[in-house]
Amino acid sequence: MPAEVIREPLALKLSLPGQATELIAIGDLPNLLLATDLTEGLAALIHPNGPLAKRTTVMSFTYTLRRMVRELRADGFVGSAGELTRPLLASFWLRSQYLVEYRTRAVLRAFDERHQALAEPVRQMVFGTNYTRPVVGSPLPPYQPAEWNRLIDLCKAEVRRLGDRHRAMLALAEEGTDPAVGGWDKANAAWLLLRLGPVSRAVVAKHLGLTREEARQGSLGLEEIRNALFPTHADAVPYLLLLGAWTGIVPDGLTTGPLKHSASSKTASCQPVPARTLSWLPSARSRTNSKGTSPARPRWSPTDRSNCCSRRRPQSCTCPPRTTAGSRTRPKPCVSSWLAPSRRRLR
């Protein structure tokens, strides 16, 4: 279903692939005329009429839309998109980052293609070349051993702190009871979240028989207790970084499933998805000696048997021997050989 603009109040109704119909509020912006025109352009960019098919991308365009309206209103502009001028747009784009200019240009182009409302000088500017360019930096230098040691020590300290906080909250939850009966305090809140999972404030308010406004005014301290019981994405960073530093596997080679709460076991369980690729992190010394050209290790796939070698195969390998010309050259490593522990000393 094409995206639809709701004018009272200003909102965007859309249905992205694989998701239910959603209403995204644009908000009470200081220049409603420009906000409405930009929302029309954003609607033209959304699937199926345009390339935007993910909610996160649509939300980033919505954020940039609000920013443009507020900044142009601060510059004194109160008109619609058809009243924009070249100096006004040039001033806004020159002080903005690349993504802000890219998104606002795309929205204005889609709006003009649908309504032909921009002035001709502004149209030439909008469909012209960007003022800003994406920042492309050079590869970062590898960490030195002393830097790795400091980073590992910091991750270990953070992991210990998070573990102590989690165990303390579990012990406190054992002393609590149902807050609907015993009242709301930290121990009772931990007792409830341990059984309901990392639920929102609305679910807790419903359990207590309160309205959402009453729960918000009461300052329940829910976020602190919830984060102590159930790790957040930020809490997972030191764990992943420490795992990569100890094993040599970089984080982008780790494929895990979402963190799911099990009410029966009262624990948070992570159900991993079978990994498709593993990326190896070469040491700082090897990357330094390679003069900028570090050969990447071959990737393996558990379902791909074409990497099995034709000779010197492990006994556990059941793949048929290769008879092509490539088998007479240097044999490729077998799938099962990757599972053997590395002979290198882990740094």
163-204: per-residue pLDDT in tens?
Answer: 999 999 999 999 999 988 888 888 999 999 999 999 888 888
Residue type, 334: C
Residue 235, pLDDT > 70, answer yes
Q: pLDDT at position 250, please? A: 63
135 or 38, which is more confident?
38
Residue 239 has pLDDT above 80, yes or no: yes
Give the pLDDT of residue 236.
92
Q: What is the DSSP string of 236-275?
A: HHHHHHHHHHHH-B-GGG-----EEEETTTTEEEE-PPPP
- Tell me the average pLDDT across 61-82: 96
Spatial contact of 221 and 185, defined as CB atoms under 8 Å apart: no
Position 299 pLDDT exceeds 70: no
pLDDT mean over 218-236: 85
Whether 174 and 163 have beta carbons less than 8 Å apart is answered as no
**What's the pLDDT at 283?**
45
Alpha helices, H only, the chain: 32-45, 55-74, 86-94, 98-115, 120-126, 145-174, 179-182, 186-196, 201-208, 212-217, 222-229, 233-247, 284-289, 335-338
Mean of the per-residue pLDDT values of the chain: 78
Instruction: Provide the b/e sequence for 215-237 (b: ≥16 CB within 10 Å).
Output: beeeebebeebbbbbbbeeebee
pLDDT band at 288 (very low <50, low <70, confident <90, very high): very low
1 vs 262, more confident = 1
d(CA 46, CA 43): 5
Confidence of residue 333 (pLDDT cuts 50, 70, 90): very low
> Once rounded to an integer, what is the mean pLDDT over residues 135-148?
85
Q: What is the 3-state secondary structure (H, E, C) of 3-54?
A: CEEEECCEEEEECCCCCCCEEEECCCCCCHHHHHHHHHHHHHHECCCCCECC
Alpha-carbon distance of 97 to 78, in angstroms, equals 23
**pLDDT at residue 326 greater than cutoff 70:** no
- pLDDT at residue 285 in the model: 44
Percentage of residues of the chain with pLDDT beyond 90: 49
**Mean predicted confidence (pLDDT) in 322-337:** 46
Q: pLDDT at position 200, please? A: 83
Mean pLDDT of 223-243: 91
* pLDDT above 90: residue 334: no
Give the pairing type, strands 267-270 and 10-14: unpaired
What is the pLDDT, as a whole number, of residue 312? Answer: 52
What are the pLDDT digits (tens) for 110-131?
999 999 999 999 999 999 999 9
Give the C-alpha separation, 39 to 11, whole Å.
8
Residue 80 is predicted with a pLDDT of 95
Q: What are the beta bridge partners of residue 164?
A: none
Question: Nearest-CA neighbor of 317 among 332, 298, 299?
Answer: 332
What gap in Å lies between CA 318 and CA 306, rounded to an integer? 12
pLDDT over threshold 50, residue 263: no
- Give residue 314's pLDDT: 52
For residue 138, the tally of other CB atoms under 10 A from its CB is: 5
Distance from first CA to last CA of the chain, Å, rounded?
Answer: 53
Q: How far apart are CA 204 and CA 277, in angstroms?
A: 41
Residue with tokens 């008879």: 323
